[in-house]
């Protein structure tokens, strides 16, 4: 009996240890061919069921360099393909800044396209381009490109692709500087887009989700969420400020962190020390628990995850340990770089695991890259000049 109990406990311990959350050593997927990334995202570009990686760089921080490529995952290695964007992204520091870039099926034809924003970094306008996936047999060649729209402003560093009006067509939500606006670019069809002003708020960071559960996506930026009207194209979005947190340069993510059926918001302090504050400013990584009625701004409850921190330019939510709740991954991009996952234990985030030390992540992505059923991580270890793309495999399932 005792030996049976001992073996049972031993087996349970071994199972627990084998199921511990850990990640592989970083794999640099460009084989040294990339020397700068300002924007990175992922998608299955050739329809083979494996997730590929897109990387872009250009303009003010690129020091005369340009990157516009995607890396095909074969299962054993990564193969580089060029998007062929020489006509829209040059090498000028003044006119060819690549800010936001995202991957999605924009034209609803079943494959993954690319949207990229190009501007002068400190001068406008912002040109938004579609790189249209030519299909699996041609996607290793240069992609067809078209300018979708030109908007006022510069430094378009934040973009979300989402159907904002419920017409089953992906729209673009963009936050930019000078003026510090949030705009929705509604898709009429692939050749026709209309621009709607949402609001003005200094800073960076952007997330989109249906916070009030009315069937239409709302917009969250730096401690303020904008409620979607019943007619998103014509009516105004109403702002609700749910925190007095002073860091306006935040990255953020939205998800139900305590499994109460309501969407919460994570604010990650990103660049206040660099652009919006004083070097050495100290802030905090925190999540804000949504009340039953999110319009009651005084009822949002703040939970500090990590105090006395900054430079966390990346935050995403995913169930990395597959226990039914959302964990938080965050990366410090400058000054003591690292990547951490804060493990969700019934809404408590006291325990964390280190994915990498000496490497951060700026505009990374979370996806099941190897198709084994758990979430992996891809990201550039710093911003723009000299940055390279790294893959971190989640070893929870092997």
pLDDT at 62: 65
pLDDT at 209: 99
- The phi and psi torsions of 201 (rounded to 5 degrees) equal -155, 125
CA pair distance 302, 288, nearest whole angstrom: 5
Give the max Cα distance, the chain: 77
What is the percent of the chain where pLDDT is above 90? 76
Task: For residue 276, name the pLDDT band (cuts at 50, 70, 90).
Answer: low
Mean pLDDT of the chain: 91
Instruction: Spell out the residues 6+ positions from residue 234 whose beta carbon is closer than 8 angstroms to its own.
Output: none
Position 2 scores a pLDDT of: 45
Confidence band (pLDDT; 50, 70, 90) for 256?
very high
Q: What is the mean pLDDT of residues 296-317?
A: 95
Q: What's the DSSP call for residue 6? A: H
| Nearest-5° Cα angle at 252, 42 to 307 | 125
Query: Radius of gyration of the chain from Cα atoms?
Result: 21
With bands split at pLDDT 50, 70 and 90, how would you rate the model's confidence at 66? confident
Handedness of CA 100, 101, 105, 108 (dihedral sign): positive
Is the confidence at residue 84, as pLDDT, over 60? yes
pLDDT, one tens digit per residue, over 234-243 is: 999 999 999 9
**335: pLDDT confidence band, cut at 50, 70 and 90?**
confident
Instruction: Give 266: exposed, middle or buried? Use CB within 10 Å, 0-12, 13-18, 19+.
Output: buried
Collapse the DSSP code of 58 into the 3-class scheme (helix H, G, I; strand E, B; otherwise coil) and give the result.
coil
Domains and CATH numbers, the chain: 38-200 (2.130.10.130)
Query: Taking 60 as the threshold, does the pLDDT of residue 65 lie above it?
Result: yes
Cβ-based neighbours of 209, under 8 Å, separated by 6 or more: 217, 218, 220, 254, 255, 263
Taking only the tens place, the pLDDT of each residue in 107-136 is 999 999 999 999 988 889 999 999 999 999
The answer to whether the predicted template modeling score (pTM) of the entire model surpasses 0.75 is yes
Determine phi and psi for 226, rounding to 5 degrees: -105, 120
> 155 pLDDT exceeds 60?
yes
Q: Please say whether the beta carbons of 48 and 136 come within 8 A.
A: yes
pLDDT of res. 278: 59
């Amino acid at each position: 009996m005792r030996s049976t109990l001992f073996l049972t406990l031993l087996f349970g311990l071994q199972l627990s240890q084998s199921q511990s959350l850990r990640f592989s050593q970083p794999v640099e997927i460009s084989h040294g061919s990339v020397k700068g990334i300002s924007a990175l995202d992922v998608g299955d570009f050739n329809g083979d069921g494996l997730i590929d990686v897109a990387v872009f760089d250009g303009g003010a921080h690129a020091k005369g360099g340009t990157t516009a490529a995607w890396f095909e995952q074969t299962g054993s290695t990564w193969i580089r393909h060029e998007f062929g964007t020489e006509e829209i992204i040059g090498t000028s520091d003044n006119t060819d800044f690549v800010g936001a870039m995202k991957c999605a099926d924009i034209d609803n034809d079943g494959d993954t396209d690319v949207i990229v924003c190009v501007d002068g970094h400190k001068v406008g306008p912002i040109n938004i381009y579609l790189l249209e996936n030519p299909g699996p047999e041609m996607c290793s060649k240069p992609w067809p490109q078209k300018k979708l729209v030109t908007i006022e402003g510069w430094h378009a560093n934040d973009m979300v692709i989402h159907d904002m009006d419920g017409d089953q067509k992906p729209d673009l939500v963009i936050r930019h500087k000078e003026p510090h606006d949030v705009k929705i670019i509604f898709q009429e069809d692939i050749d026709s887009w209309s621009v709607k002003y949402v609001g003005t708020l200094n800073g960076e960071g952007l997330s989109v989700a249906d916070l009030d559960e009315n069937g239409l996506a709302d917009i969250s930026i730096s401690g303020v969420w904008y409620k979607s009207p019943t007619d998103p194209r014509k009516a105004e979005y109403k702002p609700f400020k749910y925190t007095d947190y002073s860091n306006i340069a935040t990255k953020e993510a939205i998800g139900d962190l305590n499994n109460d059926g309501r969407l919460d918001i994570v604010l990650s302090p990103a660049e206040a020390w660099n652009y919006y504050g004083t070097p050495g400013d100290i802030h905090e990584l925190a999540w804000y628990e949504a009340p039953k009625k999110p319009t009651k701004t005084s009822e949002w409850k703040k939970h500090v995850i990590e105090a006395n921190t900054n430079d966390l330019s990346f935050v995403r939510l995913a169930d990395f340990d597959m226990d039914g709740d959302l964990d938080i991954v965050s990366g410090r991009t400058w000054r003591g770089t690292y990547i951490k996952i804060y493990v969700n234990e019934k809404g408590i985030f006291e325990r964390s695991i280190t994915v990498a030390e000496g490497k951060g992540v700026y505009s990374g992505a979370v996806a099941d890259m190897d198709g084994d059923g758990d979430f992996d991580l891809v990201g550039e270890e710093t911003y723009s000049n000299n940055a390279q793309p790294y893959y971190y495999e989640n070893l929870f399932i092997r």
